[in-house]
Structure 1
Amino acid sequence: MLLIYTQKVTPRIIYVFKHICTHILGIPIKFTSKIEEFIAHDGAKLSYGKQALGNEFFIQNADLLLEQGFSDFEIKVQPWDDTLCFFPLPEASDLPFDIFAASFYLLTRYEEYLPHVKDEAGRFPASESLAHQESFLHKPVVDIWAIKFRDILLERFPKLETKKRKYKTGTIIASEHTFIFKNKGFLRSFIGLFFDLFKLNIGRVIDRLQVWIRIKDDPHDIFQDLIEIIKKDKVYMLFMFQLSDFSIHDRNISHNRIPHRAVIKSVADYAKVGLLMGYYAMEEIRSLRKEKLRLEEIIHSPVENVMNSKFNLKLPDHYSNLTELEINNDHSMGYPEVMGFRAGTCTPYLFYDINMEITTPLRIHPYAFNSTVAENISKNKLQEDLSRMLAEVKAVNGMFRAVFTNQDFSNYGDQDYYYKLLKQIHEIE
């Protein structure tokens, strides 16, 4: 057990020390603000303050974890061996950087609360992030810092117990359009057929007609193929289905269509199923509740996993709605336009609400790769970058998560390429 002394035990300190020490490193910890208890302790101990109390492991603190609310301050990123860090500390500290303050800044998405330039969809773009501007977006720096901290701490306290975790990979399949032709309704189907004929896209016309008369599967219905991969190669996949009302923003088929419900039920027999939130569910808790109840009625179990389909995280409101509806896991933390670690970590973590200064029960599962990046990068470059990032996560025994869509594996997409990426991630021969 590691005893941690700090003059004031704040919610921020509890949150980030538990994440790094307990969740990443497997070190049991206890906090105290009593000097007598700390000095009398003869085991591993660490003080987090302005000056050391004795011969304990000492980390001089930056002020971030003692504050409340927000303040806009200058951050200087500096080299630390083979990585980068910020909040540098003087030589009196046993760590050259306050990794706990730096980790809190990244995990809470502190910078997303501050004024910033949004993209055309109203989102916080990767280009506005400190990690992108300082070229460490591709590294799970919070986990890297934690490992470096562990190694230095064990030099001082070699008997301190730690737990080694296992490297894992996982894939999310986002189904915003479960079918491309099937069950679209007469008017939508007729308009689609008209446009295919107008563009002389005879192949699509033939496919559409064959799907309608049920002699061919819908091209987007590739779920059974992915289920076979799960069964054969024992990979982890989480399927997200959209069940929102039809609108200009959300154009999936109705949640009442029997084939749509049948696909969801079939997938739920072999893999976890979650909710891909529609546009209005991201804006209104009433719409989110409605979509959640729809999925629960189909799968006959509580909805535990959700993803924001447009990746427009309005913090903390988006996560507050999930917490209010007792949804435990969110998978939206990543950038759809670039590869990288939006929160600086490859470890699931609890969301900290800076407005309320509390640790919430909502667990964030960050992803590092979204298949949409393939539209803007060459195949060779993407595979090389993916290999490097997989190696980074493997080095810290983290969790590499990737996001694909069912359309990626359709014969209307570059299915061979996406299957190749899927196999690369899960190391399938």
Structure 2
Amino acid sequence: MLLIYTQKITPRIIYIFKHICTHMLGIKIKFTSKIEEFIAHDGAKLSYGKQALGNEFFIQKVDLLLEQGFSELEIKVQPWDETVCFFGVTDASDLPFDIFAASFYLISRYEEYLPHVKDQYGRFPPEESLAVQESFLHKPVVDIWVLKFREVLSSRFPKLEMKERKYKPGTVIESANTFVFKNKGFLRNFIGLLLDLFKLNLGRVADRLQVWIRVKKDPHDIFEDLIQLIKEHRVYMLFMFQLSDFSIHDRNISHNRIPHRAVIKSVADYAKVGLLMGYYAINDIKILRKEKLRMEEIVHSPLENVMNSKFNLSLPENYSNLIELEINNDHSMGYPGIPGFRAGTCTPFLFYDINMEVTTPLKIHPYVFHSSVVETMTKTKLKEDLGKLIGEVKDVQGMFRSVFRNEDFSDYTDKDLYYSILKEIHEID
């Protein structure tokens, strides 16, 4: 057990110490603000304050974890061995920076609460982030810091029990359109046929007609192939299906269509399924509740996993709606256009609501790689960057989360390339 002394025990301190010490390192911790109790303790102990009390393990603090709300902060990034850090402190500290404040800043997404200009899709732009501005988006710095903290702590307290981490790959398959031709209704299909003819996409015309008369499988219905991968190689996949009402933003197949429901039920027999929230469900809790109930009615179990279909997170409002509806896991934390670590970590974490200053039960599962970047990079650059990212996650024994779309594996893409990327992530020969 690690006894932690701090003059004032705040919700932020409890949150980040529990995340780093307990959830990431497996260390049992106890807080105290009584100097006498701390000094009398014979076992492992750490003080977090402006100055050390004795010869204990000491982390000098900055004021971030004592504050409430958010404000503009002056942050100076500095090198630390082979990585970087910020919120630097004096040489009296056993680490050259306040690891707890810096980690809190990144995983709470503090910077996303600050005023910023959203991009054309209403998203927090990567360019506004400290990680992009200081060129460390490609590194899971929180995990790197924590492993270095572990080394120093274990050298001071060799008998302190800590858990071992293990590299775990996992993939989310988002399905905004389970089918591209099938079950879209006469009018939508007729208009699509006319557009294909106008563009002289004769291959799509032929495919469309063959799907209509049921002599060919819909090109987007690739779920059996992915399920086969799961069966053969025991890879972790989570499938997200959209069940929104049809609109200008959401053009998925109706949730009432029997083949659509049948695919969801079939996939749910072999893998976890979740909800790909529609455009309006993201900000409207009534619509989100309706979509949630639709998924639960199909799979006959409570909805546990969701993803934002547009990745236009608005914190903390979007997450507050998930919490109110008792949805436990969100998989939207990442940048679809840039590979990297949006929250500075490859470890799932509980969402901390800065507005309410409370640790919530919502677990955030950050992703590192989104398949939409494949179209923007050369194959050589893609392979090089992906290899580096996988290496970074393996070095910290973290979780490599990737996101693909079901259409990535259809005949209308370079599906062999997408399959090769998926297999590299999951180490499938």
Classify the TM-score, shorter chain.
Answer: over 0.9
Distance 2:316 2:198 in 1: 46
Give 1:65-144 correspondences, 5 Å limit: 65-144=65-144
Q: Does 1:337 align with 2:337?
A: yes
Distance 2:220 2:70 in 1: 45
The residue that corresponds to 1:161 in the other structure is 161
The residue that corresponds to 1:220 in the other structure is 220
User: Could you tell me which amino acid in structure 2 is paired with residue 84 of structure 1?
Assistant: V
Give 1:315-334 correspondences, 5 Å limit: 315-334=315-334
The residue that corresponds to 2:180 in the other structure is 180
User: Could you tell me which amino acid in structure 2 is paired with residue 166 of structure 1?
Assistant: K
The residue that corresponds to 1:350 in the other structure is 350
Distance 1:382 1:76 in 2: 31
User: Could you tell me which amino acid in structure 1 is paired with residue 195 of structure 2?
Assistant: F
Q: Percent identical across equivalent pairs? A: 78
Greater Cα shift, 24-33 or 239-248:
24-33
The residue that corresponds to 2:241 in the other structure is 241
Q: Secondary structure at the match of 1:30?
A: strand
Q: Does 1:230 align with 2:267?
A: no
CA shift for structure 1 position 35 = 0.6
Distance 1:313 1:195 in 2: 33
CA shift for structure 1 position 126 = 0.8
CA shift for structure 1 position 7 = 0.3
Q: Secondary structure at the match of 2:281?
A: helix
Q: Does 1:256 align with 2:256?
A: yes
Q: Secondary structure at the match of 1:282?
A: coil
CA shift for structure 1 position 421 = 0.3
Distance 2:377 2:90 in 1: 42
User: Could you tell me which amino acid in structure 1 is paired with residue 337 of structure 2?
Assistant: E
CA shift for structure 1 position 414 = 1.4
Distance 1:73 1:127 in 2: 17
Distance 1:252 1:344 in 2: 33
CA shift for structure 1 position 198 = 1.4
Distance 1:12 1:379 in 2: 43
Q: CA RMSD in A?
A: 0.6
The residue that corresponds to 2:2 in the other structure is 2
Q: Does 1:189 align with 2:189?
A: yes
Distance 1:375 1:223 in 2: 22
Deviations 1:383-419 (A, max 9, x none): 1111111111111111000000000000111101000
Q: Does 1:29 align with 2:29?
A: yes
CA shift for structure 1 position 344 = 0.4
CA shift for structure 1 position 260 = 0.2
Q: Which runs of 5+ in 1 are unaligned?
A: none
Q: Secondary structure at the match of 1:361?
A: strand
CA shift for structure 1 position 222 = 0.1
Distance 1:129 1:158 in 2: 38
CA shift for structure 1 position 127 = 1.0
The residue that corresponds to 1:198 in the other structure is 198
Normalising by the residue count of structure 1, what TM-score does the alignment of the two structures yield?
0.99
Distance 2:383 2:138 in 1: 14
CA shift for structure 1 position 166 = 1.2
Q: Secondary structure at the match of 1:3?
A: strand
CA shift for structure 1 position 103 = 0.4
CA shift for structure 1 position 155 = 1.4
CA shift for structure 1 position 197 = 1.1
Distance 1:260 1:404 in 2: 19
Distance 1:268 1:408 in 2: 20
CA shift for structure 1 position 345 = 0.5
The residue that corresponds to 1:389 in the other structure is 389
Distance 1:340 1:269 in 2: 32
User: Could you tell me which amino acid in structure 2 is paired with residue 70 of structure 1?
Assistant: F
The residue that corresponds to 1:148 in the other structure is 148
Distance 2:55 2:122 in 1: 51
CA shift for structure 1 position 156 = 1.1
Distance 1:378 1:26 in 2: 41
User: Could you tell me which amino acid in structure 2 is paired with residue 135 of structure 1?
Assistant: S
CA shift for structure 1 position 283 = 1.4
Distance 2:135 2:29 in 1: 33
The residue that corresponds to 1:299 in the other structure is 299
Distance 2:52 2:393 in 1: 34
Q: Secondary structure at the match of 2:419?
A: helix
CA shift for structure 1 position 159 = 1.1
CA shift for structure 1 position 51 = 0.7
User: Could you tell me which amino acid in structure 2 is paired with residue 343 of structure 1?
Assistant: A
Distance 1:14 1:378 in 2: 45
User: Could you tell me which amino acid in structure 2 is paired with residue 377 of structure 1?
Assistant: M
CA shift for structure 1 position 337 = 0.7
CA shift for structure 1 position 307 = 0.2
CA shift for structure 1 position 235 = 0.2
Distance 2:198 2:330 in 1: 42
Distance 2:261 2:154 in 1: 53
The residue that corresponds to 1:290 in the other structure is 290
Greater Cα shift, 44-53 or 156-165:
156-165
Q: How many residues align?
A: 429
Deviations 1:76-104 (A, max 9, x none): 00000000000001000111010100000
CA shift for structure 1 position 378 = 1.1
CA shift for structure 1 position 26 = 1.0
Q: Secondary structure at the match of 2:320?
A: helix
CA shift for structure 1 position 241 = 0.1
